[in-house]
Chains A and B, each alone.
Chain A
């Protein structure tokens, strides 16, 4: 799904809240997340990209995935005639043909040496930091974004190709172990997965 803010007459901020005057009349009060959706959707944006941007700005929502939370908010704003929703262009599914993996925003990590990454799921109080070594560290490094976003959604195929290349193996030969490792990290609260 894609989101785009509809033209509006005026908008002001005050004390963390936003007041929007629709171009055909009618005032809408927005909280910080709603206002951010209006701002980030000035140009058409995919829901997943919007969810990523909001998660970076506000952190992960409680008890619900970021995508589901933003989906609900975008639909509510569409009912209020603030944004309009559209389908993804034909022939380009939002998530391609493969699942995507991402480091959770509440997972802390630090790379201590090239082959050692220490990770900690902050959502689980009392959990001890854990070191990922060797191929585990290599997989983690693939998931770390190279740009401003350290937690981008990474296609599963990209992870598999990178691990296979690092070990001089074929993708088929490392697939099962690598996917098992990714699922293990997700169960431990360190990764998000988005199915195809």
Chain B
């Protein structure tokens, strides 16, 4: 594989209070940089935050189709633009999380907020269990904060409005889509986002009827959050932080449901209906 040459372009993307410097190289660097700016339009030029390092992205027809990642995830190179963009999203997310482990409560979760109030709904769930679908279902009306990684400082959500990986009809693999292209609403500029409620999602294809909502006791709630946070033990006073957050926002809810749309009354009840 060629050694990436000097960067042709640089793109800085950020989220969860950190930023990654993308160094774009290769024969098709211009095309790659333009795609990155479109997909990451809501994460460009982040405010000063934690430096999550540099990621080299190299798009060149002379390379194999599937992007190859170095052991450190710091270089991705390939000939397929779509595959490279998907790999870049994963690598950026990984770098941001690594930079904020021990600083923030990090959860596998999606988050939406009421643009009128900045009151956010954090829906915690494992990968592949409905976070992106829920985000797309309600994100046209509520502000899109993230579909994958929610970072919380006290009760404040640090947004990460990243591209969404969505499977196009008939396509064998997922591809990256900008939140704007999916019609997702943005929160108000400079509006602080706060946790309104934490919800543990339990999507069940066999569930019938209205969503089943259960208030969890404190220890069950923290156990559920811990299952979807690989770094909880690295956060100082993590259990106290979780307890304080739950005390401030109300009992964590476990929600068993089948179709995301059926959650509409619950979402409206928890964070209000946007004007």
Contact = CB atoms under 8 A, between A and B. Distances in A.
Contacts of A10: 237-240
A96 B218 CA distance: 46
B233 A12 contact: no
Interface string B222-234: 1100100010111
Contact of A12 (B226, B230, B240): B240
B141 interface: no
Chain B interface SS verdict (over half)? helix
B232 A12 contact: no
Nearest to A11: B239
A12 B245 CA distance: 14
Contact of B226 (A11, A14, A27): A27
Given A9-B238, A10-B237, A12-B240, A25 B219 contact: no
Interface in A6-24: 9-12, 14, 17, 19, 21-24
Contacts of B218: 14, 19
B273 to A, nearest CB: 34
A71 B126 CA distance: 39
B149 to A, nearest CB: 18
B243 interface: yes
A167 interface: no
B239 A21 contact: yes
B219 A21 contact: no
A133 B218 CA distance: 56
Contact of A19 (B233, B234, B237, B239): B239
A29 interface: yes
A25 B219 CA distance: 15
Contacts of B223: 27
Interface residues of B, number: 14
Contact of B219 (A19, A22, A26): A19
Contacts of A9: 233-234, 238-239
Contacts of B237: 10
Nearest to A9: B233
Nearest to B238: A10
A27 B218 CA distance: 13
B240 A17 contact: no
Nearest to B218: A14
A80 to B, nearest CB: 15
A21 B243 contact: no
B233 A25 contact: yes
Contacts of A17: 219
Contact of B233 (A14, A21, A29): A21
B251 to A, nearest CB: 13
Given A22-B233, A23-B233, A29 B240 contact: no
Interface in B222-268: 222-223, 226, 230, 232-234, 237-240, 243
Contacts of B219: 14, 17, 19, 29
B232 A21 contact: yes
B158 to A, nearest CB: 22
Interface in B188-245: 218-219, 222-223, 226, 230, 232-234, 237-240, 243
A17 B217 CA distance: 12
Contacts of A25: 230, 232-233
Interface in B31-67: none
Nearest to A23: B233
Interface centre among A14, A17, A24, by most chain B C-beta atoms within 10 angstroms, is A14
A24 B243 CA distance: 20
Nearest to B234: A9
A176 B224 CA distance: 63
B224 to A, nearest CB: 10
Interface string A22-36: 111111010000000
A5 to B, nearest CB: 16
8 contacts: A10-B238, A10-B240, A14-B243, A21-B226, A21-B232, A21-B239, A27-B222, A27-B223
Interface of B: 218-219, 222-223, 226, 230, 232-234, 237-240, 243
Q: Which 6 A-B pairs have the closest CB atoms?
A: A10-B239, A25-B233, A9-B233, A12-B239, A14-B218, A19-B219
